[in-house]
C-alpha cells in the first residue's frame, strides 16, 4: 500500500468524530445537488417531452409569399404595399428536400405532410380543424400518436381518419362513426374514424384530423405535394442548428421547437441557473468546511508532521497525505450523499402524485448525475485540501517537532 494512502487513512481514522462530521457535510451537499438536479432535470424533461410530444423538433415549410414594390425602395415616393394572404403552396421538389434533410447526421426521422385548415362536420356540429395528411408510419416516428391512442387504432387507409379526444367529444363521434371534412379549397371528404388519440395538448386534441397523405393532398388542393416536413433530431437542443442548416441549404423556412417555445426555454434556463447557483454555494460551503477541518488537523498533527519530515519524508508527500484526506472525505461523503439524494428524490416523487398516479414532480435520477456529483465532491475535497496541504508541507521539521 502506498505510504501516503496508509497515513491518510490512519489520520482520518484517529479523529473519527471529526472525520464523520466532515463526511456528513459533504454528504448533505451532494444530496442537495443530486436532489435538486434530479428534480429540476425531471421537471424540465417532463415539460420538454410534453411540448415535443405534439410538435416536430423542426418544421420545414415553403417561404411565405411577399409583395415587393417595383420601384427602387431608395426612390422617395408615397406607397402602400399590400401583403398577400398566404396560400397553401407545396415545397418545390419536396422529395429531394426530404432526402437531403434525412441525410443530416443529427436527424433521426422526417415526415413530409400536407397541412391546412378545414371544417369537420357531423350532423349539426361543426368545428374548425387542422387537416394533416400523413404517411402514418413516418409521422409516428416524429410525433408518436400511435402510442397515445385512447380508442381504436392508429391506422389510415383511404377514407379513414384519426382524431383527437377533444374533437371526438365536441362532435359527439367515436370510432367507426363518419365525419365530413371540408376545406377552403372547396374539397370535401367523408371519412371513417379509425381511432381517437389524446396527446395531452388541448389545441391538438380538439383540432387535429390526421388523414392519409393522398387524401390530405386532395383536400388541400396539393396533389402530389407536401407543404410541411416534420423533422425529429437526435438531441433536442440541436434543433436550432439543424433548422439553420436547412435554411442555408434549401432557402425554405425552418422553425425549430426552440424558436417556437422561446419563453419556455428562457424559463428552463433561468431554472437551471438558479439551481446551479444554489449548488455552487452549497459546494463552496462544503469546501470551506473540509478546508477548516484539515487546517485544524494540520495544527493537531504538527509534531507528527515534524517527525515524518525529520525521518526524511519529502514536503510533497506530506502535502499529498492531506490532499488525499480531502479527496477521501469528498469521495466517501459523495457516496453517502448519492444514497441520501437518491432516497430523497424517490421519496419526494412517491409522496406527491397526480390523480392518475403519475408523479407530480418527475425525478430524473441518472447514473451520469450520480457520477458527476461524486466526481465534483471528490474534486472539491481535493481542492479544499490544497491550502492545508501546503501549510503542512511548509512546516520546518525542527520547529514542528518542538510544537506542543
Contact residue for another protein among 84, 103, 186, 312 (CB under 8 A): 312
**How many residues belong to the site for another protein (CB under 8 A)?**
26
CA distance 326 to 305: 17
Residue with cell 388541448: 202
CB-nearer residue toward another protein: 22 or 44 = 22
Residue with cell 386532395: 218
Q: Is 17 in the site for another protein (CB under 8 A)?
A: no
**To the nearest whole angstrom, how small is the minimum distance from the Cβ of residue 356 to another protein?**
58
The burial class, CB within 10 Å (0-12 / 13-18 / 19+), for 307 is middle
Q: Site mask, another protein, residues 317-336, x = CB under 8 A?
A: x-------------------
CB-nearer residue toward another protein: 127 or 309 = 309
Tell me the CA distances in angstroms from 26 to 23, 255, 294, one per residue in order: 5, 45, 14
Q: Site mask, another protein, residues 269-308, x = CB under 8 A?
A: ----------------------------------xx-xxx
Q: Is 314 in the site for another protein (CB under 8 A)?
A: yes
Per-residue cell: 96: 429531394
Residue 210 φ then ψ, to 5°: -90, 130
Per-residue cell: 365: 435520477
Contact residue for another protein among 174, 315, 346, 364 (CB under 8 A): 315
Contact residue for another protein among 115, 309, 324, 330 (CB under 8 A): 309
**Where does this chain touch another protein (CB under 8 A) — which range of 236-244, 281-289, 312-320, 345-353?**
312-320
**Where does this chain touch another protein (CB under 8 A) — which range of 5-13, 44-52, 249-257, 272-280?**
5-13
Q: Where are the alpha helices (DSSP H) in 91-225?
A: 94-102, 136-142, 165-171, 202-207, 213-219
CA distance 313 to 323: 15
Residue with cell 508527500: 317
CB-nearer residue toward another protein: 99 or 394 = 394
**Where does this chain touch another protein (CB under 8 A) — which range of 19-27, 130-138, 337-345, 395-403?**
395-403
**Among residues 192, 213, 196, which one has the least CA distance to residue 205?**
196
* DSSP secondary structure string for all residues of 341-387: HHHHHHHHHHHSB-TTSSBSS-----HHHHHHHHHHHHHHHHHHHHH
**Where does this chain touch another protein (CB under 8 A) — which range of 114-122, 192-200, 323-331, 394-402?**
394-402
Q: What is the DSSP letter of 91?
A: P
Q: Is 20 in the site for another protein (CB under 8 A)?
A: no
CB-nearer residue toward another protein: 190 or 296 = 296
Q: Is 310 in the site for another protein (CB under 8 A)?
A: yes
Is the CB of residue 136 less than 8 Å from the CB of residue 154?
yes
Residue 314 φ then ψ, to 5°: -70, 155
CA distance 7 to 277: 36
Q: Is 313 in the site for another protein (CB under 8 A)?
A: yes
Q: Is 241 in the site for another protein (CB under 8 A)?
A: no
- Say what angle helices 302-310 and 262-300 make with each other, to 10 degrees: 70
Q: Is 81 in the site for another protein (CB under 8 A)?
A: no
**Among residues 62, 97, 57, 56, which one has the least CA distance to residue 249?**
97
Q: Is 3 in the site for another protein (CB under 8 A)?
A: yes
Contact residue for another protein among 311, 355, 367, 368 (CB under 8 A): 311
Contact residue for another protein among 82, 248, 356, 396 (CB under 8 A): 396
CB-nearer residue toward another protein: 45 or 317 = 317
Residues of this chain that interact with another protein (CB under 8 A) are: 1-4, 6, 10-11, 13-14, 303-304, 306-315, 317, 396-398, 401
Amino acid at each position: 500500500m502506498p505510504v501516503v494512502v496508509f497515513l491518510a487513512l490512519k489520520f482520518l481514522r484517529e479523529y473519527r468524530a471529526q472525520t464523520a462530521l466532515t463526511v456528513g457535510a459533504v454528504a448533505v451537499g451532494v444530496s442537495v445537488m443530486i436532489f435538486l438536479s434530479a428534480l429540476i432535470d425531471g421537471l424540465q424533461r417532463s415539460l420538454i417531452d410534453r411540448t415535443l410530444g405534439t410538435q416536430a423538433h423542426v418544421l420545414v415549410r415553403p417561404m411565405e409569399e411577399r409583395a415587393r414594390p417595383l420601384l427602387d425602395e431608395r426612390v422617395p415616393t408615397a406607397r402602400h404595399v399590400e401583403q398577400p394572404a398566404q396560400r397553401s403552396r407545396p415545397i418545390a421538389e419536396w422529395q429531394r428536400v426530404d432526402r437531403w434533410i434525412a441525410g443530416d447526421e443529427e436527424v433521426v426521422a422526417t415526415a413530409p405532410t400536407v397541412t391546412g385548415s378545414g371544417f369537420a362536420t357531423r350532423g349539426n356540429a361543426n368545428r374548425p380543424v387542422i387537416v394533416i395528411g400523413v404517411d402514418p408510419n413516418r409521422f409516428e416516428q416524429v410525433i408518436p400518436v400511435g402510442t397515445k391512442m385512447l380508442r381504436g387504432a392508429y391506422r389510415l387507409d383511404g377514407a379513414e381518419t384519426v382524431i383527437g379526444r377533444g374533437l371526438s367529444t365536441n362532435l359527439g363521434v367515436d370510432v367507426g362513426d363518419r365525419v365530413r371534412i371540408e376545406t377552403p379549397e372547396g374539397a370535401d371528404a367523408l371519412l371513417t374514424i379509425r381511432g381517437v388519440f389524446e396527446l395531452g395538448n388541448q389545441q391538438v386534441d380538439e383540432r387535429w384530423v390526421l388523414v392519409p397523405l393522398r387524401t390530405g393532398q386532395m383536400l388541400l388542393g396539393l396533389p402530389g405535394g407536401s407543404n410541411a416536413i416534420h423533422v425529429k433530431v437526435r438531441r433536442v437542443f440541436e434543433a436550432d442548428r439543424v433548422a439553420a442548416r436547412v435554411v442555408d441549404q434549401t432557402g425554405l423556412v425552418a422553425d425549430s421547437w426552440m424558436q417556437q417555445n422561446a419563453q419556455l426555454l428562457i424559463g428552463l434556463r433561468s431554472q437551471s441557473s438558479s439551481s446551479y447557483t444554489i449548488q455552487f454555494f452549497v459546494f463552496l460551503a462544503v469546501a470551506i468546511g473540509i478546508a477548516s477541518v484539515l487546517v485544524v488537523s494540520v495544527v493537531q498533527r504538527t509534531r507528527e508532521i515534524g517527525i515524518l519530515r525529520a525521518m526524511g519524508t519529502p514536503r510533497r508527500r506530506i502535502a499529498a497525505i492531506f490532499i488525499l484526506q480531502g479527496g477521501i472525505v469528498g469521495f466517501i461523503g459523495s457516496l453517502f450523499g448519492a444514497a441520501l439524494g437518491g432516497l430523497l428524490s424517490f421519496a419526494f416523487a412517491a409522496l406527491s402524485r397526480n390523480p392518475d398516479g403519475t408523479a407530480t414532480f418527475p425525478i430524473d435520477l441518472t447514473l451520469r448525475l450520480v457520477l458527476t456529483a461524486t466526481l465534483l465532491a471528490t474534486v472539491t475535497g481535493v481542492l479544499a485540501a490544497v491550502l492545508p496541504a501546503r501549510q503542512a508541507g511548509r512546516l520546518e521539521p525542527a520547529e514542528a517537532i518542538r510544537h506542543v
